[in-house]
Amino acid sequence: MIRELIITFDYHSGKTVKKLRKLELEKKEVTDKERIQELKDEIQILQQDYESKLKPVVLEIAFNIESQMQKMSEDEIFEKFQIKNADSSIIGDCVYHICQKLERQPSHKVILEMMPEKFRTD
């Protein structure tokens, strides 16, 4: 299910990702300061849009992982993930690693900011 969420999100965000890449390349080649600022502003708006569309996907993955963990014993969690004393605070890191499979990978900070407090590492 998680894989399908990632694939679907990548598919639906494809136009935004392409536009962001195009603008970032243009920004590297432009020397006009005014145009650079326009490009930065446009990139920031598109990036925020991308992240706002990513947030529900991230939360769905997080709650899915939490649900799976609740059904497993500590021994099963250790066997599957090599983690002892696992609790919900590791879920943010798990989601970050999953999101690294996206075409446009969000930063660790961005992912953790999307997470409810209980899913964040200390």
Buried b (16+ CB within 10 A) or exposed e, 35-63: eeeebeeebeebbeebbeebeebbeebbe
Q: What is the pLDDT of residues 47-61, one digit of tens each?
A: 999 999 999 999 999
**What is the distance between the alpha carbons of residues 93 and 119, in angstroms, rounded to a whole number?**
8
Q: What is the pLDDT of residues 61-72, one digit of tens each?
A: 999 989 988 898
**Ramachandran area for residue 23 (φ above 0: left; ψ -120 to 50: alpha; else beta):** alpha
The range of the structural domain enclosing residue 101 comes to 2-119
Instruction: Give CA 92 to chain center in angstroms.
Output: 10
Please, are residues 62 and 90 in contact by the beta-carbon 8 Å criterion?
no
> 41-45, 65-69, 85-89, 105-109: lowest mean pLDDT where?
85-89
Q: Kindly tell me if the per-residue pLDDT of 122 is higher than 70.
A: no
How many domains is the chain built from?
A: 1
Higher-confidence residue of 79 and 29: namely 29
